[in-house]
Amino acid sequence: MARILLLLPAATYRAPDFLAAARALGVEVVVGCDAPLAGGIPGARTVQVPLDDPEAGTAAVLSVDARSALDAVVAVDDAGTVVAAAASARLGLPHNPPEAVAAARDKLAMRTRLAGAEVPQPGFAVLDADADDDAVRAVVEGVGLPCVIKPTTLAASQGVLRADSSDEALAVVRRVRAIATGAGVDPGAPLLVERFAPGAEVALEGVVEHGTLRTLAVFDKPDPLDGPAFEETIYVTPSRLDDADAAAVVAVAAAATAALGLRHGPVHAELRVRAGRAQVIEVAARTVGGLCARALSFSTGRSLEELVIADALGLSLGDTTVAGASGVLMIPIPRPGVLVAVEGQDEARAVPGVTDLQITIAPGRPVAPVPEGNRYLGFVFAREAGPARVERALRRAWAALEVRVDPL
């Protein structure tokens, strides 16, 4: 029986889906987690692996392999990708170059690599931590307005804000720095300033096989993501892009993957496209976040997690055609405070086409919307005869929900 090590942060809620995928493939699983888990994870042995220290994390993975040989190391989220790559390299397992994965986790390093390969992307510049107001104005005006200001390391749109003028940029920079510092980013870290890229935003899911990107699905994001914050809401697949835009998205995503040096495993890419020209917003060496992968089902009946594990083990992926139209709503947090309740869940589940609803934040917990926050209240899934009907079902379910949040 093949044996894999799943690397996941303690805060993730994706473990059950990957464990189910491993069971479906008949694979033995050891879970490597960055903190002790009360009660462990049913059905799997758990070991502690420091994910924020590649050297110590790699040593921990090698120790697991010494006790019983591993056939693959799979990172569930961003936090484990560098350790997975470094450990796999030491063990002679298929892997991404660690420096490529590290570049995918650092937005400035990613932009620099893409620029060197002339991959289409927004113009960008670095804003140092000690930049005064004059320096901020010079940077944003040099990049061009409107612009987007963001930390280089956070994810899920946390700390990402648009500025339409140099005066507005001064306030945005202060807010972004406060968000980043509150999230544990070094106060001396630079910020990234990018020219705002107009056009429709899409997400591409793929798997890199021997350095070549294999596209599995392209999600439309039908709600405009024009700022000032960039909170995602609805994903729908198959995409309704025209042929020219769809081809541009796939080609530019493949070019970005190659420019970063990714050679193996899952890829989640965010791109903007307009009039047949695509630009890279982000490339990550992992699958789509949260529970969004549940929106995908392939013609073989396999889940996205099954495909990732099968690929890690060198197994055939088979037919990766997406089975029908599907989508997911990431339930937004309406205001900061303490979650009281999410009402109307039965009504939302009763909407034709809705297949599931999962609330992932418990009542009584503090919540904050993007850009201060980086989580959603939960997820609504739908399947229908076409993407337009999927979107309609998700919007009806969203309208049925009432989120009650009390002030802190």
Q: Could you write out the DSSP letters of every residue in 294-356?
A: GG--BTTS--HHHHHHHHHTT-------B-SEEEEEEEPP-SSEEEEEEE-HHHHHTSTTEEE
Least confident of 37-51, 192-206, 213-227, 368-382: 37-51
Q: How far apart are CA 100 and CA 56, in angstroms?
A: 19
The two three-digit tokens of residue 217, written as one number: 């699905």
Domains of the chain, each with CATH number or no CATH: 3-95 (3.40.50.20), 125-195 (3.30.1490.20), 324-408 (3.90.1170.50)
Paired with 307 in beta bridges are: none
Q: Cα(first)–Cα(last) distance of the chain, in Å?
A: 51
> What value does the mean pLDDT of the chain take?
95
Instruction: Give residue 297's pLDDT.
Output: 87
Describe the crossing of helices 166-182 and 133-143 by its angle, rounded to 10 degrees: 110
Residues 62, 81: Cα–Cα separation, whole Å: 15
The pLDDT assigned to 37 comes to: 66
For residue 39, the model assigns a pLDDT of 60
Average pLDDT over residues 69-74: 96
pLDDT attached to residue 84:
97
Question: What is the structure's pLDDT at 246?
Answer: 98
Side-chain-facing half-sphere of 275: CA atoms under 13 Å? 2
Task: Please check the confidence at residue 110 and state whether its pLDDT lies above 90.
Answer: yes
pLDDT tens per residue, range 114-144: 999 999 999 999 999 999 999 999 999 999 9
More confident: 13 or 293: 293
In this prediction, residues 48-70 reach a mean pLDDT of 95
291-310, pLDDT tens digit by residue? 999 999 899 999 999 999 99
pLDDT in tens, 172-229: 999 999 999 999 999 999 999 999 999 999 999 999 999 999 999 999 999 999 999 9
Q: What does the pLDDT read at residue 35?
A: 82
> Residue 408: its pLDDT value, please?
82
Question: Which pLDDT score is estimated for 40?
Answer: 63
Please indicate, yes or no, whether the overall pTM of this predicted structure exceeds 0.85. yes
pLDDT range class, residue 38, cuts 50, 70, 90: low
Who contacts 160 (Cβ-Cβ below 8 Å, separation ≥6)? Answer: 148, 149, 150, 154, 176, 229, 230, 370, 371
Rounded distance between C-alpha atoms, residue 295 and residue 307, angstroms: 14
Model confidence band, residue 50 (pLDDT cutoffs 50, 70, 90): very high
Residue 378 has pLDDT above 90, yes or no: yes
Percent with pLDDT over 70 in the chain: 99
pLDDT at 105 over 80: yes
